[in-house]
Chain A
């Protein structure tokens, strides 16, 4: 644990400053030599050079040489954006034996030379300030070591459908131990229920079956079927998982699936696997190809788990020689330790009986697509004969209705995505079974985007299946015949539809599996608006979750077809393997740390303050009663939201401490502060957006001085108060996009807290006399370079309009109020005091 911040021993700091020309990119606008000469005079700077290309080998060699020769213990490179070359220089510095966190960069290219070429003089001043601020910060930097956590080379996969099985096979192939937990008595998921798959018309269970058998027999796969994950603790590389094994009452190893028990069981209940269309006994095997190939006893419907009431299955099983039935089976909780977790829990279909217009659940001959699958399936309740539920007759005329509940603001806004294809498939299958059957598909749009899908649709039309654009408004039932009348508009003809059918098949929306919300809580991963598990980034990280080490794949992430599920499963396996392949996972040390003696919980154990934990998006803060709050470093992602939240200022964020940031503020506002815009930008979006403005060569006035934080949630109101107290002209707070559609925040919710705090402190300041336009909150994404430039332009104009005199006068008036507010910011007070001392010392020379 690094020593707590003491403010740095100024006298011992030996800084090397390097100003890069970057060819003419910087040198074309800024006098790099002059910058280096000026930097040499800064307190603590021992050597200052300028060079054409600092990132080149000779450039880096120069730094390494100076570190040795001049005994440097801090390095600043003024060049491009740290998002470009911070890793490069950190490595170079580390090579020379210096801790890489004793390195800082001043951005004088993207934020200066590239966008201020029209104002070379002012740009030069801005570059000077950037270097001075970097020097001020680096002086206070601490040596940090990357946190290493050991990795348990085992993986937990929750969900044994095709996605879970694929991921399990991949990881097993790679040599890792897999713990596969499946809630149902058998693995196989939805794919096991299907008859044939589109567009190849493969028999679903035939292609899935071998995979099911394979995954179960592998020595390095531990299969927990009929089990549920009930608790997950820990963090990447070190998850501790509690699994509840539900009682089967049948010993899986002893059961030989002879089926004698089924023959004698007196209880019949609807069969879940057949979507309630068929029957099973209380003791049953979910389907013939079930894995594990064993029976189980449904204790909810069993007459009563004791020979006093029934006991016939136990007798039959004893008689057959297997003696596998045990009524005293109890639920069991087991613990497993894993290094990574994959969520592959799949989907359910929404209950469309809620959509009264279609009469599902009331009219017997209106069925869902999954029910039709079970009817068509030769292993289904009717042995593959599609019959009308009302009278058992073979239907002659069938209608399929698409988008029943999907693409509908009243139900599910999204498109489920695979229903068009399975309807086409089911229609083709029906035609195969019953060549004279009359089929019409009613749709709004046909979505056939995958490989071979449009061709499959064409095939369906070629086989005489009719497609009518026009979603029926309702289904009526003739009470005498139980036939269905579909009512709507045929859009192509502009005529009313009124057609009678024997059966109508509905395509319901896919929704997250029941219990997904509970699982999301157990894993502490977010879900999206529809309840599906949420990925880290919709484009570039569609498999990761914000919690390191937990991955999602298959329909659990969002409705998708089999090829996409399998591909994503392999992706998840690969992402998990990244962790498992290493002995240690390194965590960047820019984590938060609670100063134990400053936390109010240890000062006054009666106070159960939990402000920090409340805002942490990763549940990374441990609150033990009577103990100070504790950040779990491996879970901390380094946003700093807790730091800004703590009313006691008891939390620090390594490499982004209050004092380090305050020192930058002080440095920036040393000269003519009323002419400057102090901008706090978040690393992932706003800072990158400002970079992009430079990369795109948008020209804007150089009034801004940027301070980089990891997240806008890090921005403490004390920074704002300090900025105005030191005479800043304007202050800009900028973070990732936040809108009515959601938050783009890299750390999930940092910007939400930034906004909340902003509104509060702006109110305070405006009431105290601050002109509102002097304090702004903006959301700038990494792609919005133009927006950044526009904001800079606007603020510069406003700054000019207000004028330095008015600003100075206002600041003067605010001084006593701000002093009062800053009194309790003890960390910033320490910096201010030292800054005074330094000034005195420098001036006394």
Chain B
């Protein structure tokens, strides 16, 4: 299993702890990665697709063509990049006019997009390629009794016509990846709802109000932690909890854990080693697991 590694701007430049955690898991399961050279931002849909869809597709196609020249599929830890690439691939495959227009633009840059490679999120590789059986074998320290709310985020699942990670209405892959560690994925309301991150970029209050709805229902489910697989969701749910608490006068303090972080703990990695930055302190979780 070898892939072209596309960490994306959030992970590569802002959240190295995510990359470290992911790399540890990849190493454990023999997932080899090769760096992609000369890439740009994937680019982010919020300010590229919304500003100029064609430029967005062209920039994404250019990134994909780098992986094509490496003859490797793209592996990314970021669902935003995942959605950008998958959408680009589908649109350029099915929309002849768009494909021609983008092709012409790329030609001006000396780039050819052939549509020969695929893009996968790391969770997809873990579930579909590595498999739950293999992961279970690597669990040495089951996280029994840990109740978590698994949050998929939007772009692993939607628009489902472009993506192929999991069922958009009742996804289960991330839940199963979490449960293989021994933790319990607790059902909760508004599970497939957006965390409000991108909305918050444009309007802070709106983002916080949306996050509150998520936290309200997660709290009702009485969980120990939230587990996410998207760096933007992580920032939003971990970083902005205090502001939600302030705005609504409610207490949440629900730790947010990165999914490979959880896997690493279960595979015997010392949490201290990960140096994972959490704004909402995860001590209660570590205590419950006896990892403190």
Contacts and interface: CB of A to CB of B under 8 A. Distances in A.
A356 B169 contact: yes
A232 B272 CA distance: 76
Nearest to B186: A479
Interface string A77-112: 000000000000000000000000000000000000
Contacts of B190: 476
Contacts of A477: 189
A258 B103 CA distance: 81
Contacts of B161: none
A480 B169 contact: no
A218 to B, nearest CB: 51
A356 B170 contact: yes
Contacts of B282: none
A214 interface: no
Contacts of B188: 479
Interface string A479-520: 110000000000000000000000000000000000000000
A842 B217 CA distance: 97
A357 interface: yes
B210 interface: no
B220 interface: yes
B217 A476 contact: yes
Most B C-beta atoms less than 10 A away, residue of A356, A478, A479 = A479
A55 B189 CA distance: 78
Contact of B220 (A356, A357, A478): A478
Nearest to A485: B189
A479 B220 contact: yes
B39 to A, nearest CB: 37
A357 B169 contact: yes
B190 to A, nearest CB: 7
A356 B189 CA distance: 12
Interface in A444-489: 476-480
B147 to A, nearest CB: 13
A357 B168 CA distance: 11
Nearest to A355: B169
Contacts of B221: 479
B102 to A, nearest CB: 29
B170 A480 contact: no
A476 B189 contact: yes
B70 to A, nearest CB: 39
A480 B170 CA distance: 22
A388 to B, nearest CB: 19
A280 B220 CA distance: 37
A480 B219 CA distance: 12
Most A C-beta atoms less than 10 A away, residue of B170, B189, B220, B221 = B189
Interface string B224-265: 000000000000000000000000000000000000000000
Interface residues of A, number: 7
Contacts of A357: 169
Contacts, number: 13
Contacts of A478: 220
Contacts of B169: 356-357
Contacts of A476: 189-190, 217
What does DSSP make chain A's interface, helix, strand, loop or mixed?
Answer: mixed
B261 to A, nearest CB: 27
A411 to B, nearest CB: 12
A356 B167 CA distance: 12
What does DSSP make chain B's interface, helix, strand, loop or mixed?
Answer: loop
A419 to B, nearest CB: 23
Nearest to B217: A476
A287 to B, nearest CB: 36
Interface in A803-839: none
A175 to B, nearest CB: 56
A760 B183 CA distance: 63
A356 B171 CA distance: 11
A404 to B, nearest CB: 14
Contacts of A356: 169-170
A476 B190 CA distance: 7
B158 to A, nearest CB: 14
Interface string B179-196: 000000000111000000
A480 B220 CA distance: 8
A517 to B, nearest CB: 26
Contacts of B220: 478-480
A141 to B, nearest CB: 55
A133 B169 CA distance: 66
Most A C-beta atoms less than 10 A away, residue of B170, B188, B220, B221 = B220
Contacts of A480: 220
Contacts of B189: 476-477, 479
A476 B189 CA distance: 6
B283 to A, nearest CB: 26
A244 B279 CA distance: 70
A480 B188 CA distance: 12
A479 B217 CA distance: 9
A479 B221 CA distance: 7
B154 to A, nearest CB: 15
A478 B217 CA distance: 8
Contacts of B170: 356
A477 B169 CA distance: 17
B166 to A, nearest CB: 13
Interface in B192-224: 217, 220-221
A477 B217 CA distance: 10
A357 B170 CA distance: 10
Nearest to B169: A356
A476 B170 CA distance: 15
Interface in A331-357: 356-357
A616 B131 CA distance: 51
Interface string A120-131: 000000000000
Interface in A348-368: 356-357
Nearest to A363: B189
A228 B189 CA distance: 45
Contacts of B217: 476
Nearest to A475: B189
A478 B190 CA distance: 11
A357 B188 CA distance: 13
A477 B220 CA distance: 10
A479 B170 CA distance: 19
A356 B221 CA distance: 19
A476 B217 CA distance: 9
A476 B193 CA distance: 12
A477 B221 CA distance: 11
Most A C-beta atoms less than 10 A away, residue of B170, B188, B217, B221 = B217
A640 to B, nearest CB: 41
A187 B204 CA distance: 63
Nearest to B167: A356
A750 B281 CA distance: 73
A356 B187 CA distance: 13
A477 B189 CA distance: 7
Nearest to B189: A476
Contacts of A479: 188-189, 220-221
A733 B220 CA distance: 69
B160 to A, nearest CB: 11
A476 B188 CA distance: 9
A519 B170 CA distance: 34
A39 to B, nearest CB: 59
B152 to A, nearest CB: 14
A480 B169 CA distance: 24
A357 B217 CA distance: 16
Nearest to B170: A356
A357 B169 CA distance: 8
Interface of B: 169-170, 188-190, 217, 220-221
10 contacts: A356-B170, A357-B169, A476-B189, A476-B190, A476-B217, A477-B189, A478-B220, A479-B188, A479-B189, A479-B221
Given A476-B217, A479-B220, 10 more contacts: A356-B169, A356-B170, A357-B169, A476-B189, A476-B190, A477-B189, A479-B188, A479-B189, A479-B221, A480-B220
Q: Identify the 8 closest CB pairs spanning chains A and B, nearest first.
A: A476-B189, A356-B169, A356-B170, A479-B220, A479-B221, A477-B189, A476-B190, A480-B220
